[in-house]
Amino acid sequence: MRNISKIKHAKFSLQNGLCFYCRQPMWRRNHERFAEQYAISLNQARYFQATAEHLVARSDGGLDVAENIVAACWYCNNHRHRAKQALSPDRYARKVVARLRRGKWHGFLAQSTPFHQSS
Ligand SMILES: [Zn+2]
C-alpha cells in the first residue's frame, strides 16, 4: 500500500469518517451500501468517496506527509482545486460550511435527513 493511501485511511479514522471540509460522512470501499444507508442514488454517493486531500497542493510544493494530508470527500476535494487560485484550507472550509448552511453545497442533501450539518 502506498504511503499516501495509508495516511488517508488513518485520517479517515481520526476524522470519524467525516469530510475535513463539509463534515459529511464518506465511504471508502462500498458506495452501494453507503447509498442505501443514506437513501441517496449511486451517482450522489460517488461525491462522498474519501480522497486524500493535500492541504498544500503538490504543485505548490506540498509533501505526501501526514501533516499535509486530510481525508476529504471527492466533491470538496475537486471543487477546491477547480478554482484558478485554490483557497487556503481554512478559508475553503469556511466557504464550504457557509454554503452548506444555505443549501448550496451537496445541494440534494437538504432533503436527505440522515446527513447532518455540524456547527
Ligand atoms: Zn466534503
Q: In whole angstroms, how far apart are CA 87 and each of 32, 40, 45? A: 32, 29, 25
Residue at 118 is within a domain: no
- Largest distance between two CA atoms of the chain: 40
Closest CA to 70 of 2, 26, 1, 15: 15
Between the CA of 19 and the centroid of ligand 1 the distance, in Å, is 5
Query: Which of 56, 101, 95, 102 lies closest to 76, judged by CA?
Result: 95
Distance from Cα 3 to the centre of ligand 1, integer Å: 22
Q: What is the distance, to the nearest Å, from the Cα of residue 77 to the centroid of all Cα atoms in its chain?
A: 6
Cβ atoms of 77 and 53 closer than 8 Å:
yes
The alpha carbon of 20 and the centre of ligand 1 are apart by a number of angstroms equal to: 6
Whole-number Å distance, alpha carbon 1 to ligand 1 midpoint, is 24
pLDDT tens across 1-60, in order? Answer: 578 999 999 999 999 999 999 999 999 999 999 999 988 899 999 999 999 999 998 888
pLDDT at position 86: 83
In a domain, 116, yes or no: no
- Check which CATH number belongs to the domain holding 49 and give it: 1.10.30
Domain that holds residue 16: 3-109
